Structure 1
Amino acid sequence: MRLLVTHARLIAVPAGTDDPGYIEEGWMLVGDDGRIAAIGAGDPPVGTTADEILDAGGSFVAPGFVSSHSHLFTSGLRGLGVAETLYGWCDAMLGTTAHMTADDVYWSTLHGALDFLSNGVTTAYNFTDPLQSWESMVDGKRVGDARMRELDYHTRQADATRDAGIRFVDSIGMDVTVGSDDEIFARFAASVAHTRAMDPDFALGASIMGQVQWSPREEAAWLEVEAMRRYGVTNQAHFLESPEAVEHQRSKFAQYRDAGALGLGLVFGHFIQTTPEIIDEAVAGGAAMSWQPASNGRLASGTAQVPEMLAKGMKVGIGLDDQACTDVSDPWQNMRMGIYQQRARLQDPLAMMPEQVLRLHTLGAAEIMGVADRVGSLEVGKLADFVVVDPRRPDVGPLWHPVRSYVLAMSPRNLTRVYVGGVLVDDRGTSSNPLAAEASARLHESLAEVARRRPTHPH
């Protein structure tokens, strides 16, 4: 079905320039294939036809947000570990998921993906809950002997993400302390094959959930690098996040460097407790970074040196992390927190500008995920994933600088519609997904049962 959007304040965020590509009044045509067929200023050319016309009426039309770091299975676990930093929060949150079944995690993931869509996030790098359940950290270390779950615990998470209708990169833990090396690779390969059998317009790729930071196995980085090469997958590692056991965390950087992960495009998630030397080596090696401002503040992890990393040439994208540590999946709040943190840290309003942070949460995130050829901006040939945001409902006043107002003054209360591939998936917070009501009911029912299975209450 062809869709024609008219009378839109377009923010295209095009590749190859820092210009946000703002058009005060423009139009966009979506083809039958769900991709952008044409886009321009003013009125569409005479003779342009479509099956449906969306008159934006002066609303912003901008790319759907891309979250370069997400855990969609955590949607029902908000409010846990509020008085804790990372490891204590993980005990509360992942200590709960350790008692989930494959069916439980399916509905929790589906609920989380629909929640992202309802807040304008149309693509997510999704860390699935690993097959090996959580075990508490002691002095920043773990033993690696926690219980393993069956393969369907992962595949059901991938199924749920696809069923929600969000585009995603499926990130899979290798759990390298369980089984022989051949068994580890075979297990990982089975998960990758499941994801790659899905519609490639939605399952945009498979990736490794880098676990070197957590793993007691010295060969963990080498195994991950071998999997990257053998299966042609990317890798994003939670790294240098928490202020605990910092020297132990930093010592793991050499493992990734020496294994050759940097040159394969490793992405560091969080990357807060760094040193100038680590940043320089990461940039020189070709690594990228995913920044989670709201999560980093919520867990008292600290503030990443993002302006310095960008100045050195590191590619950076922004992620919402998960609902259990961002609480509200609000990309506008996430962008503003990032701006405020950097300006306060450096006492410089130019440290982070609205146009820049918008790019990091759309095209920049898509770039470090390896999917910028398909999503992240409104350009001809790309998938037509976009949000419609009304600056008059509620009215924020005159738009002295429209793009800056879009970042600084908009929120989900202004979000009226979300489209994926030119198809309406959420209308003012109401999902069009036929599983939405069941996902909500199942989440409440299943998590009550999970809490009963747990020896101690998550609080």
Structure 2
Amino acid sequence: MSLLVINARLITVPAGTDDPGYLDGGYLLVDDSGRIAEIGRGAAPSGTTADRTLDVAGAFVAPGFVSSHSHLFTSGLRGLGAGETLYGWCDAMLGTTAHMSPEQMYWATLHGALDFLACGVTTAYNFTDPLQAWESMVDGKRSGTAGMRPLEYHTRQADGCRDAGLRFVDSIGMDATVGSDAEIHERFDASVAHTRAMDPGLALGASIMGQVQWSPREDAAWVEVEAMRRLGVTNQAHFLESPEAVEHQQSKFAMYRDAGALGEGMMFGHFIQTTPQIIEEAVDGGAAMSWQPASNGRLASGVALVPEMLEMGMAVGMGLDDQACTDVADPWQNMRMGMAMQRARLKDPLVMMPEQVLRLHTLGGAEIMGVADRVGSLEVGKYADFVVVDPTAPDVGPLWHPVRSYVLAMSLRNLVGVYVGGELVSDRGVSTNPLAAEASAKVHEAYPALLAARGLPH
């Protein structure tokens, strides 16, 4: 059904400009397909009709947030590894999921996707837990000999995103140390085919979970690039994240460069332990970067040189990473933490402004994911994915600069509603999805049992 939103403080974040597109007292018309048909300042033109009218009474209406780097299955694992850096934290978290069934992963992912929606995130790049189980890192390396789970272990995670009603790019590990090259590609192709058979309005694309950083295989980058070209998929690699074994990590950049990966569709997640040469080569090649400030702080990973990368022309998006290391999937917290980290690092408030982090967490994320034609901003023709945020509940005082107040003073406590395709999916933090209660029950049942089986406190 169509929807007319009225009396809105619109923040549109339009493409092609740094202007946040603020319209004080505007309207938004959503057509029957869930896309934006009209948007403008003031009242809707005379004669404008819709099946429903939503009067937001001066609240902000802004694009749903985009998380360009996420692991939705971790929503039930918050608080683990609280005193660990990346590898020890992975042992605590992924050592648990290593024992999960495909059906348990479905409910875990569904729970995480609903949590994202409740926090105003309407599109996510979702790294699925790979078919090859986690194994501990030794000197920054894995042996690559852990056992494999069935194909359903991946496909049920994609199903969880779909059934939650979250728009997503499905990121799939190639597990390039298990089987022949033909078997590796056949396995990956089957996962991609499952995702591509879904509703394209929710499953926005398939991608590779770049595993070169973790893989002991010397030609892992070539295997990934072959799949990128053959299937037309993107690739996001966890890369240069941890402050451990830095020289070993940096040595692997040459693998992606030499395999010809540094072009459109290649993203580096985290990208912290860089060198000037690595950044320059990545920018020259056309690679993008996803920035996870809250996660990077929680795991003591460091601070990525984002202002410098942006100045050099690198495309950057923001992500919330694991809910088990961002803890609260709050995009406002993520924006403020990122801005504060950069200002403190460079001792200059102008290196990162509120309008910029808002763009990075909406349209910027959509751009690096290759889905900005459909999501990331409020523009005619795009999906009507938006948040309604009330600056009076609780009251934050006068809005001297509304867009900056939106970034600096809003939080989940001000989030009134979240809409996907013009349909309400979260009402003041409460999901409208009929599976929400069951997802919560399943997560509370599964994880304590798994931790108990491992002899861990829970």
TM bracket (short chain): over 0.9
Matched, 1:247 2:247: yes
Residue 83 (1) aligns with residue 83 (2) = yes
What amino acid maps onto 1:47 in structure 2? Answer: G
Report the 3-state secondary structure (helix = DSSP H, G, I; strand = E; otherwise coil) of the residue aligned with 1:376.
coil
Mapped to 1, the partners of 2:41 and 2:239 lie a distance apart of 43
- Confirm or deny that 1:212 pairs with 2:212: yes
Asked if the contact 1:99/1:453 (under 8 Å) is kept, the reply is: no
| Structure 2 match to 1:231 | 231
Query: Are the aligned partners of 1:80 and 1:458 in contact in 2 as well (CA < 8 Å)?
Result: no
Would the aligned equivalents of 2:265 and 2:370 in 1 still touch at CA under 8 Å? Answer: no
> Residues of 2 paired with 1:369 and 1:433: CA distance?
26
Q: Write the mapping of 1:243-282 to structure 2, written as runs, cut at 5 A.
A: 243-282=243-282
* Deviation of the 1:158 alpha carbon: 0.3
**CA deviation digits over 1:52-95, x for unaligned, max 9?**
00001000000000000000000000000010000000000001
> What residue is the counterpart of 2:361 in the other structure?
361
1:298-447 superposed matches below 5 A:
298-447=298-447
> Could you list the runs of 4 or more consecutive aligned residues of structure 1 that deviate by over 6 angstroms after TM superposition?
none
Where structure 1 has 5 or more consecutive residues not aligned to the other structure, the ranges are none
In the alignment, which residue of structure 1 is the partner of 2:166?
166
Matches within 5 A, 1:7-18: 7-18=7-18
Contact 2:74 / 2:324 at 8 angstroms: preserved in 1? yes
1:458–1:168 Cα change, 3 Å: farther
Aligned residue identity for 1:364: G
- What is the CA deviation profile of residues 322-346 of structure 1, one whole-angstrom value per residue up to 9, with x for unaligned ones? 1100000000000000000000000
The CA distance in 2 between the partners of 1:183 and 1:346, in whole Å, is: 48
Aligned partner of 2:77: which letter?
Answer: L
CA distance in structure 1 between the partners assigned to 2:432 and 2:440 by the alignment: 14
Task: Tell me the TM-score normalised to structure 2 length.
Answer: 0.99
- SS of 2:321's partner is coil
Contact 2:233 2:265 in 1 (8 A): no
Amino acid at match of 2:405: S
RMSD of aligned residue pairs (Cα, Å): 0.7
- Counterpart for residue 50 of structure 2: 50
> Could you say what secondary structure the match of 2:412 adopts?
coil
**Displacement, 1:458?**
6.7
| Corresponding position: 1:108 with 2:108 | yes
Identity %: 80
Per-residue CA deviations over 1:130-174 (Å, capped at 9, x if unaligned) read 000100000001100011100000000000010000000000000
The TM-score, its normalising length taken from structure 1, stands at 0.99
SS in 2 for 1:150: coil
Q: CA deviation at 1:453?
A: 3.0
- The within-5 A match list for 1:18-29 is 18-29=18-29
Paired letter, 1:319: G
C-alpha deviation, 1:210, in angstroms: 0.1
Question: 2:185 and 2:83 mapped to 1: Cα distance?
Answer: 38
Q: Secondary structure at the match of 1:269?
A: strand
> How many residues are aligned here?
458
Q: Is the 8 A contact 2:68 2:125 kept in 1?
A: yes
- Report the residue type matching 1:446 in the other structure: A
Q: What is the distance in 2 between the residues matched to 1:94 and 1:429?
A: 28
Question: What's the secondary structure of 1:337's corresponding residue?
Answer: helix
Matched position secondary structure for 1:263: coil
Tell me which amino acid in the other structure corresponds to 1:31. Answer: D
In structure 1, C-alpha distance between the alignment counterparts of 2:362 and 2:448, rounded to whole Å: 36
Which residue type is aligned with residue 418 of structure 1?
Answer: V
Please list every run of 5 or more consecutive structure 2 residues that lacks an aligned counterpart in the other structure. none
- Alpha-carbon contact 1:262-1:285 (below 8 Å) kept: yes
